[in-house]
Amino acid sequence: DQQVKQNSPSLSVQEGRISILNCDYTNSMFDYFLWYKKYPAEGPTFLISISSIKDKNEDGRFTVFLNKSAKHLSLHIVPSQPGDSAVYFCAASDPGTYKYIFGTGTRLKVLA
Amino acid sequence: DTGVSQNPRHKITKRGQNVTFRCDPISEHNRLYWYRQTLGQGPEFLTYFQNEAQLEKSRLLSDRFSAERPKGSFSTLEIQRTEQGDSAMYLCASTVAGANVLTFGAGSRLTVL
pLDDT at B59: 85
HSE value, Cβ hemisphere, 13 Å, CA-based, for A9: 3
- Measured in residues, chain B has a length of 113
pLDDT at residue B2 greater than cutoff 80:
no
SS3 assignment, position A83: helix
pLDDT at residue A1 greater than cutoff 70:
no
Task: Return all residues near B62 (Cβ < 8 A) that are at least 6 apart.
Answer: none
Q: Using a pLDDT cut of 70, give the percent of chain A over it.
A: 99
| Beta carbons of A73 and A90 less than 8 angstroms apart | yes
Average pLDDT over residues B26-43: 93
Q: In angstroms, rounded to a whole number, what is the distance separating the alpha carbons of residues A101 and A24?
A: 12
CB atoms B101 and A46 under 8 Å: yes
pLDDT at residue B97 greater than cutoff 90:
no
Calculate the average pLDDT of chain A: 95
CB atoms B91 and A44 under 8 Å: yes
pLDDT at B62: 85
Give the chain B residue whose CA is nearest to the CA of A103: B42
pLDDT at B1: 55
Give the chain B residue whose CA is nearest to the CA of A100: B45
| Beta carbons of B3 and B102 less than 8 angstroms apart | no
